[in-house]
Amino acid sequence: SLCAAAEPNVSYQELKDLKKGNVLHIDVRERWEIDKFGKIPKSINIPLGELMEALQMDPTEFKEQYKQKMPSKSDPVVFSCLAGTRSKQALGFAMSLGFS
């Protein structure tokens, strides 16, 4: 299950369409889940337990750690996990930090 603020749930096809643009896809699964089930192409892995800290990092530090430009608070971001529970939490965390 995938979550985005404008549309709390997006389908796989909607995500594929969004990823043709400049949406940042953050996979909040644990690293062992990525190893076991595979990485989603063009996504970055930030486990849910690291997300609040990651979204408050200095942009240079974020880029060093995650090999990706840090999203601004107005950039389109989609969160995903295995079942949808953590991606909904991630969405709440991001919105609480001022992400739209």
SS (H, E, C) 30-87: CHHHHHHHCCCCCEEECCHHHHHHHCCCCHHHHHHHHCCCCCCCCCCEEEECCCCHHH
- Number of other residues whose CB lies within 10 A of the CB of residue 73: 12
- Candidates 3, 23, 81, 91; catalytic one: 81
84 — pLDDT class (breaks 50, 70, 90) = confident
pLDDT, average across residues 13-39: 89
12 — pLDDT class (breaks 50, 70, 90) = confident
Is pLDDT at 2 greater than 60 in this prediction? Answer: no
pLDDT, average across residues 3-18: 70
Q: What is the pLDDT of residues 34-66, one digit of tens each?
A: 999 999 888 999 999 999 999 999 999 999 999
What was the pLDDT predicted at 5? Answer: 52
Question: What CATH number does the domain located at 12-97 have?
Answer: 3.40.250.10
Task: Kindly state the helix (H) or strand (E) to which residue 95 belongs, with its residue range.
Answer: helix 85-96
The domain spans of the chain are: 12-97
81 is catalytic: yes
What was the pLDDT predicted at 30? Answer: 97
